[in-house]
Amino acid sequence: MFKFRGLLAVGLSCTTGIAAAQEAASPPPPDPAQLLRLVPKQGVATGAGQTVLGRGGATLNAVGNVPLGWNYFHATNCQWITDGVNNFLYVLPSEGGFWFYVNNVYAAHTFLTPCVNGNWAAVHVINSATGDFDSILTLPFK
């Protein structure tokens, strides 16, 4: 009987430690209609001599207002949306803002891995006003 109580005490202390280590629930994703309104009406833009993979914004109100160069973030939430013709993948970092691209399955595979794990990712912004980015970097850690 004494051995059983000892094992029970050890088991209960382990489950308490596991419960304390769980992460907080993330907020629900934004409405798909709200995300589609963020897509500029003129379509996919191209930079001067550079290929644009996608765009992003500092807030969920409009594209742009992001710093030039590499922007690092935790890729914690991704949402795939279609308007019937185009496919959009939105990355909604835990730090705020958003990044998206249109009809690019390679970019989708690149971003979806860190989204599943909540790992660090980055985009290389080439136009601060529109949030255009030309490169994606993913890292294997949080």
**pTM, two decimal places:** 0.67
Give backbone dihedrals phi and psi of 109, rounded to 5 degrees, phi first: -65, -35
Residue with the bigger pLDDT between 94 and 31: it is: 94
C-alpha span between 110 and 43 (Å, rounded): 22
CA atoms within 13 A on the CB side of 29: 15
pLDDT digit string (tens) for 78-103?
Answer: 998 988 899 999 999 999 999 998 99
